[in-house]
Chains A and B, each alone.
Chain A
Amino acid sequence: EDQVTQSPEALRLQEGESSSLNCSYTVSGLRGLFWYRQDPGKGPEFLFTLYSAGEEKEKERLKATLTKKESFLHITAPKPEDSATYLCAVQARPYNFGNEKLTFGTGTRLTIIP
């Protein structure tokens, strides 16, 4: 069974204080690892997809990295508007009849204090 564990559950940072969020996973065969951002009362918003160990992707103050067992979401010099819950999810290979379902972790609730 595919599993995703995210840590920490919650993280409070001062504005400008860089840190990393962790996503550990077990999957029968990784097709892709996804990061989403979720604001209160809204659906998850896509950030990144990583496909193979060693891959990195960046967007503004965020950088996602991938190893064979975990992924990190690094946040550099965060701003208050980066406050949100960050979700990690894996997609297994092979997939059933084209069903690209994702297995999600419970998320890290990030708060950036001005």
Chain B
Amino acid sequence: GAGVSQSPSNKVTEKGKDVELRCDPISGHTALYWYRQSLGQGLEFLIYFQGNSAPDKSGLPSDRFSAERTGGSVSTLTIQRTQQEDSAVYLCASSFTRGYTFGSGTRLTVV
């Protein structure tokens, strides 16, 4: 597709369950980012992938969060043992040179 695709668009989960969020970047984009957007707060950087290099995980808020990128393309963000404070919109962006293209995000609600 022409844009960054994220799935699911909405996810409601029970506290303590694990969730997986998926991102399909634009074909040919080597850089991929995950951000989190909480109500009333700015976008918060989570993790960065560049090609086959080791990811920059410096923004992950706890060890319950992890992400992988397979074949330099699709990425999955996993949140284990979800907590209510994990409720937010999770945005993925991809980039080739400068400037990002964002997906529409996954709205995660932990009940």
The residue of chain A having its C-beta at the shortest distance from the C-beta of B41 within the complex is A106
Q: Count the A-B residue pairs with Cβ separation under 8 angstroms: how many?
A: 59
Tell whether, in the assembled complex, residue B93 and residue A101 are in contact, meaning their CB atoms are under 8 Å apart: no
The residue of chain A having its C-beta at the shortest distance from the C-beta of B10 within the complex is A41
Interface residues of A (CB under 8 A from B): 4, 32, 34, 36, 41-46, 49, 87, 89, 96-107
Return chain B residues, CB-CB under 8 Å to A107: 42
Size bracket, chain B contacts: 20 to 34
Interface residues of B (CB under 8 A from A): 4, 31, 33, 35, 40-45, 48, 50, 53, 56, 58-59, 91, 93, 95, 98-105
Known A-B contacts A41-B104, A43-B4, A43-B105; A101 and B99 likewise in contact (beta carbons under 8 Å): no
Tell whether, in the assembled complex, residue A43 and residue B98 are in contact, meaning their CB atoms are under 8 Å apart: no
Tell whether, in the assembled complex, residue B56 and residue A96 are in contact, meaning their CB atoms are under 8 Å apart: yes
Tell whether, in the assembled complex, residue B102 and residue A44 are in contact, meaning their CB atoms are under 8 Å apart: yes
Q: Which residue of B56, B99, B104 contacts A97 across the interface (Cβ within 8 Å)?
A: B56
Tell whether, in the assembled complex, residue B103 and residue A4 are in contact, meaning their CB atoms are under 8 Å apart: no
Tell whether, in the assembled complex, residue A42 and residue B104 are in contact, meaning their CB atoms are under 8 Å apart: yes
Return chain A residues, CB-CB under 8 Å to B53: 97-98
